[in-house]
Structure 1
């Protein structure tokens, strides 16, 4: 079983990146879904993608990786828009031959399954929306099985 720690939309609050790492020191993989507004050297131990506010980063627009028997696709999510979003996300996973989409942008924690595809948004560690709390998520992967847990950061100052 592998542990993936996922965060997004920290928007320049770099202490949140350190806090998440401190809270989850045993992660096998750390993923930031964009809008970190961090320099590349600050994110050396993270798989990072470029968000719509990462103007000066050289992070890639998307990345793919495999954990156990699942193929993951990571992007910020701003290019999906808000209309027909799920269809665009499914199409992206189909084109990339991936099973799980990790994305941010909306600042709302989401875990959704449509057919054989899974969509996970960890929410925002600093600027939550939609009545949600500041959050990140932990994904345990065992073969093709996922266990997703959202972690509330409201009790922590960073």
Structure 2
């Protein structure tokens, strides 16, 4: 199973469509972790499950979504409601409440992933306004039973190998 993960596109349209088209044959699910700044019915969001970010003022997005990924559960949210810029503990505890193994969020615009006490946390960064790194990023999660791999790409589709994370889930 492969999941395309984007966040913090802040009004970009063509880039969202280009990224979805680029991975349409290999991604089983596309998610947007908020701050699209687009209406939920906008064509650029058509292929994405999308949550509400702190800059999303149009339409009704959910604050969080949980989806099954094989035998696992993926929980995604924007992150502002859980204070992810200060600590990942609140979003971790929410995932624990939901029984989720994988947590995806945005808000900080900082790309990265880590295994934290058996849960995989992924922030795809931002495809518009990256922080810490220069590259405008998104991620693809590949999961097969207990093996997970997170790969990051810039908006041109070039892999950023230094961010790749291979881990084993319990």
- TM-score > 0.5, shorter chain as reference: yes
Q: Secondary structure at the match of 1:123?
A: coil
The 8 Å contact of residues 20 and 47 in structure 2, kept in 1 or not, is answered as no
Alignment of 1:9-158 (within 5 A): 9-26=8-25, 27-42=27-42, 43-81=45-83, 82-83=85-86, 85-153=87-155
Structure 2 unaligned blocks of 5 or more = 159-170
Q: Secondary structure at the match of 2:88?
A: helix
- Structure 1 position 31, deviation (Å): 0.3
Distance 2:150 2:156 in 1: 19
Structure 1 unaligned blocks of 5 or more = none
Cα 1:11–1:21 change in 2 (3 A) is: same
Distance 2:125 2:59 in 1: 21
TM-score, structure 2 length as denominator?
Answer: 0.85
Equivalent residue number for residue 6 of structure 2: 7
Give deviations 1:90-130, integer Å, cap 9, x for gaps: 21111111111100001010101111111000000011011
Q: Which runs of 4+ in 1 moved over 6 A?
A: none
RMSD: 1.5
Distance 2:68 2:2 in 1: 12
- Structure 1 position 21, deviation (Å): 0.8
Q: Which has the higher contact order (CA 8 A, sep 6+)?
A: 1
